[in-house]
Amino acid sequence: MTQIRFGCFLAPHPPQEQFAIARRVDALGFDSIFTGDHVSFHNPLYESLTLLASYAGITSRVKLGVGVYLLALRHPTIAAKITSTLDVLSGGRLIFGVGVGGENPKEFEACGIPHNERGARVTEGIDVVRRLWKDSPASFKGRFTQFEGVSIDPKPVQKPAPPIWIGGRSDAALQRAGRQGDGWVSYVVQPERYKQSLEKITAAAAAAGRSLEGFTRGHLTFITMGKDYESAERVWVEKLSKRYAQDFGPLARKYGVIGTPAQCLEQLGRFAEAGCAYFILDAICDPAAEAEQIEMMAAELVSKFKAS
């Protein structure tokens, strides 16, 4: 039977609060701590890899994941250097989630990256990062990046390399996951679509001659737990509508994991039946309530899934 794993996606807080929650997640038995990534967004966000580096010395066990890094906004050689360093400093705990993004075109403008090149840049950038992680010296000749005889050291601790998980739900993202990924992270999908997406990933991997042995099947889960469904739903809609500057009201019953612990457990179970083996739980709530939500998730969801 596939073991179900759990990550915890943290919202931004003042530094000492952020560190206290990270330490608690490490102690509670979650498998990883995740953060999101934008250069510019509707709300304040820390730079993702800098934030994960700040966790490296205050946690000892959890993996440190970015879900997902907008690789097109950075030069992949620099990204390879930063992630190599982070993997070394954390003792081999990096999960490098990578995605295309694009919902905020202004950050592409600010970084001087044509919005319509983002997919091609990510596809090539993944190959650049892997090449620099592994080869000494490395050479690469692509559309956006070319170099000859370059070595980035120290190399990552994880061998053969840190896992690269592909984020997204478009057909292009699913193709990329099958061709290049060590894992996949979905978001805002229903279990039926999740299962169909895994079939597309499997087909893309087969066409590329790749085995998916060891491939991680993940889902970024927008979750709100409460005393009843209705009160939890109100919080879920309010907070996500503010985060993404759009109305999430019509999306709650389709895409949310919402309600009492028993209701949330049942909703996660449908994803597990569809093939998900790694839930990245993102507690949708007031910042002041996040620590309490995390305690509830650990007691009511993580421990019960692991016990079963």
In a domain, 196, yes or no: no
Span 219-232, average pLDDT: 97
Q: What is the pLDDT of residue 23?
A: 98
Using an 8 Å Cβ cutoff, are 139 and 152 in contact?
no
d(C-alpha 119, C-alpha 70), whole Å: 10
Q: What is the pLDDT of residue 187?
A: 94
Task: Kindly tell me the burial class for residue 9, based on how many C-beta atoms sit within 10 Å of its own C-beta (0-12, 13-18, 19 or more).
Answer: buried
pLDDT in tens, 241-276: 998 889 999 999 999 999 999 999 999 999 999 999
pLDDT in tens, 74-92: 999 999 999 999 999 999 9
Span 151-168, average pLDDT: 97
In a domain, 197, yes or no: no
Instruction: Classify residue 9 as left (phi > 0), alpha (psi -120 to 50) or beta.
Output: beta
Residue 209 has pLDDT above 80, yes or no: yes
178/308 same-domain check:
yes
Domain that holds residue 46: 31-162
Span 212-234, average pLDDT: 97
d(C-alpha 166, C-alpha 201), whole Å: 11
Q: What is the pLDDT of residue 26?
A: 97
d(C-alpha 132, C-alpha 152), whole Å: 6
Average pLDDT value over all residues in the chain: 96
119/95 same-domain check:
yes
d(C-alpha 80, C-alpha 130), whole Å: 8
294/246 same-domain check:
yes
pLDDT in tens, 58-70: 999 999 999 999 9
In a domain, 200, yes or no: no
181/141 same-domain check:
no
141/174 same-domain check:
no
Using an 8 Å Cβ cutoff, are 192 and 274 in contact?
yes
Q: What is the pLDDT of residue 244?
A: 87
Q: What percent of the chain has pLDDT over 70?
A: 100
d(C-alpha 68, C-alpha 167), whole Å: 6
In a domain, 43, yes or no: yes
In a domain, 175, yes or no: yes
182/249 same-domain check:
yes
97/114 same-domain check:
yes
In a domain, 195, yes or no: no
Q: What's the CA angle centered on 226, arms 230 and 249, to 5 degrees? A: 40
pLDDT in tens, 17-46: 999 999 999 999 999 999 999 999 988 999
221/272 same-domain check:
yes
Domain count, the chain: 2
In a domain, 277, yes or no: yes
Last residue of a domain, one of 143, 162, 181: 162
SS (HEC) of 103-145? CCHHHHHHHCCCHHHHHHHHHHHHHHHHHHHHCCCEEEECCCC
Residue 2 has pLDDT above 80, yes or no: no
174/142 same-domain check:
no
In a domain, 174, yes or no: yes
- Cα torsion 199, 201, 207, 211: sign: negative
Q: What is the pLDDT of residue 1?
A: 59
Q: What is the pLDDT of residue 201?
A: 98
Provide the pLDDT confidence category of residue 306 given band limits of 50, 70 and 90.
Answer: confident
Question: Which CATH number goes with the domain that contains 280?
Answer: 3.20.20.30
- Report the candidate in 134, 264, 280, 273 with the shortest Cα–Cα distance to residue 216: 280
48/74 same-domain check:
yes
137/229 same-domain check:
no
Q: What is the pLDDT of residue 176?
A: 98
Q: What is the pLDDT of residue 251?
A: 94
142/178 same-domain check:
no
Residue 307 has pLDDT above 80, yes or no: no
Task: Kindly report the pTM of this predicted structure.
Answer: 0.96
